[in-house]
Amino acid sequence: MSRILVTGGSGRLGRSVVAGLAQAGNHITSVDREAVPAGLLPPGVVQETADLLAPGEALRLLREAKPDAVIHLAAIAVPFSAPEDVIFATNTRLAFAVISAATEVGVPKIITASSPTVLGYGSPAGWLPPSFPLDERTPPKPWNAYALSKLIAEQTMQMFATAQGDRIRYAAFRPCFVISPEEWEGAPTQQGHTLAERLADPALSAPALFNYVDARDVADFLDLLLQKMNEIPNGETFFVGAADALATAPLAELMPRFLPGSEALSAGLTGTSPAFSIAKAEELLGWQPRRSWRTELTSRHTLNDEASALVTAGGGSKETP
């Protein structure tokens, strides 16, 4: 059993990470500006309500909790949901405050959340990658304050890894569009649409290149990463996504409609292949996502007619590229 401090533990992703790591037998301290109502907190989880940007707060909480690991999720998580300078300052300062305090206290394992948006897709000036699938070697080209703040969070993590050597283990991860358990039941996703709506209208998932991941699979990834951090190179960054795309048609067909000029680049994204590769997490950690929209939507009794039709139409295909 490890003692793990999770920042942003009340959030969309944080709630599943806290629950998953607690269920795996760890002792969790969840730190967030917002509290989760007591009845909804998994048994044994300690909740601290605090502003991690208040001077000395991160250090105080870490000295009190004395964790074996820190998972830093707290951030403004939606691009353009606040003025650009506020997003930039909040996310970069949070990452520095938490990672530096954890390093100062000597926490042995420190993980920070980044985002696939660091790659720069959706830029109004146009964007095309060197190749598909996208992976950790694809050059980042952030075009807004959120994406830049996440790239700086990765670099902050790497700076500390460089300075500390292997005395402390660091990593970053880029979760794809996070689907929390209630969203399979019909709750609105981060962008306000339901999953059925996102599947019915490819234009809604196209801006994120049809990426997604179940929040519980992210919790499983973090559990495995924590177990293996001492055995893999220090300061690594991982994409964490579903094994398929959030789309009912192959991306080889859909991508050129929404990403002009990508016909040849996306020709290999046949069957259910996603645009983002998770091969590195599989190779270094042995991690594989266990959930997909095909399994999660079909298992729900609350599925509406529209979503049922989609699952029937798209769910039968288990074709791989």
Ligand X SMILES: NC(=O)c1ccc[n+]([C@@H]2O[C@H](COP(=O)([O-])OP(=O)(O)OC[C@H]3O[C@@H](n4cnc5c(N)ncnc54)[C@H](O)[C@@H]3O)[C@@H](O)[C@H]2O)c1
Interface residues with ligand X (CB under 6 A)? Answer: 8, 10-14, 32-34, 51-53, 73-75, 77, 94, 113, 115, 175, 177-178, 190
Cα dihedral sign, 213-169-165-146? positive
> 215 CB contacts (<8 Å, ≥6 apart)?
12, 13, 15, 16, 17, 178, 179, 180, 181
If the CB atoms of residues 141 and 270 are measured against ligand X, the closer one turns out to be 141
Kindly state the smallest distance separating residue 316's Cβ from ligand X, in Å: 27
If the CB atoms of residues 17 and 307 are measured against ligand X, the closer one turns out to be 17
If the CB atoms of residues 46 and 53 are measured against ligand X, the closer one turns out to be 53
Kindly state the smallest distance separating residue 27's Cβ from ligand X, in Å: 20
112: nearest Cα among 62, 156, 144: 156
If the CB atoms of residues 150 and 169 are measured against ligand X, the closer one turns out to be 150
Structure tokens at 157: 């993590």
Cα dihedral sign, 197-200-201-205? positive
Kindly state the smallest distance separating residue 167's Cβ from ligand X, in Å: 25
Kindly state the smallest distance separating residue 270's Cβ from ligand X, in Å: 26
Kindly state the smallest distance separating residue 118's Cβ from ligand X, in Å: 10
Distances (CA, A) of 20 to 25, 116, 179, 215, 217: 9, 22, 14, 9, 9
If the CB atoms of residues 32 and 220 are measured against ligand X, the closer one turns out to be 32
If the CB atoms of residues 188 and 260 are measured against ligand X, the closer one turns out to be 188
- CA pair distance 199, 192, nearest whole angstrom: 13
Asked if 246 and 199 touch (Cβ cutoff 8 Å), the reply is yes
Kindly state the smallest distance separating residue 120's Cβ from ligand X, in Å: 14
Kindly state the smallest distance separating residue 244's Cβ from ligand X, in Å: 17
Supply the DSSP symbol for 128.
Answer: -
Asked if 125 and 182 touch (Cβ cutoff 8 Å), the reply is no
Asked if 70 and 98 touch (Cβ cutoff 8 Å), the reply is yes
Instruction: Name residue, tokens 């950790």.
Output: 136
If the CB atoms of residues 49 and 230 are measured against ligand X, the closer one turns out to be 49
In the complex, which residue's CB is closest to ligand X? 11
Kindly state the smallest distance separating residue 203's Cβ from ligand X, in Å: 18
Cis peptide before 133 (omega within 30 of 0): yes
Structure tokens at 25: 């037998």
Distances (CA, A) of 296 to 186, 192, 221, 303: 12, 19, 18, 10
If the CB atoms of residues 92 and 273 are measured against ligand X, the closer one turns out to be 92
